[in-house]
Amino acid sequence: MKYLSTLLIIIITVLSGCSSSQKVTSSWVSPNLPTGTQYKTIFIAVMSSRQSIKTKMEDEFANFLTQKGYKAIKSSDVFPPSFTAEKMPEREDMLGKIRQSGSDAIFTVTLVDQESETRYIPGAVGYQPFVGYGRRFWGYYNYWFPYAYDPGYVTTDKTYFLEGNLFDVKSEELMWSVQTEAYNPSSIEDFSKGYAKLLWQRAEKELRGKR
């Protein structure tokens, strides 16, 4: 029983050290969102200067929405990779392309902030007196050698704060906004899948009565 309890603690510790989590911290629904609103084609725009992250996240969002019966248009397929703050198209040019795609809603994702915390992870064990090796050199050396060469390490935990916004294409008004936290995401793919699912659950709860 003692062995099983120790094993369980070890498993939980390992999983806790490598797990990632996401949660919704706040959200808002526009009072101007009309009852019976049914968006069918969603234009997805992940606002990131890193094209690889932008593309992967938009791909995952598009796949998720397609599975839910929506048509998804990715901004990475409409605007070139050279799209930057210095090379932004004019407002009418941008909205014109979005409208030409047949989209009736725009969903944007933006990283609004991030925090990092560095912490020390100790090695195999801390110091514990052990008289079994006696007072001779070899007994001491043979006992402590494995632990002395299993040093601790420094790791950095990262928390990302994101904001998702749903805009109506016709009026350009913000219809829904949701803020989330992501703790130590393991990969862009896993994060994007979890993020899409999290937002869908929230949207089902808050927007269902408006459809």
> Is residue 143 one of the residues assigned to a domain?
no
- 153 falls within a domain: no
**DSSP element (H, E) containing 112:** strand 105-121
Rounded distance, CA 205 to CA 116, Å?
A: 32
126 located within any domain: no
Count of structural domains within the chain: 1
Average pLDDT, the chain: 76
Examine residue 68 and state whether it is found in any structural domain, yes or no: yes
Residue 97: CATH number of its domain: 3.30.160
Q: Residue 160: which residues within 8 A CB-CB, separation 6 or more?
A: 111, 113, 114, 181, 182, 183, 185
Is 93 domain-assigned? Answer: yes
d(CA 17, CA 184): 10
Where in the sequence is the domain holding 168, given as residue range(s)? 21-114+158-210
Closest CA to 45 of 36, 37, 35, 55: 55
pLDDT digits (tens, 9 = 90+) for 122-131: 555 444 555 5
Tell me the whole-structure pTM to 2 decimals: 0.71
Specify if 4 maps to a domain: no
> 149 lies in a domain?
no
pLDDT, one tens digit per residue, over 158-174 is 888 889 899 999 999 99
CA atoms of 34 and 168, how far apart (whole Å)? 11
Q: Does residue 42 carry a pLDDT above 90?
A: yes
Residue 14 within a domain = no
Task: List alpha helices for 68-104, DSSP H.
Answer: 75-78, 91-100
Query: What is d(CA 146, CA 194) in angstroms, rounded to the nearest whole number?
Result: 40
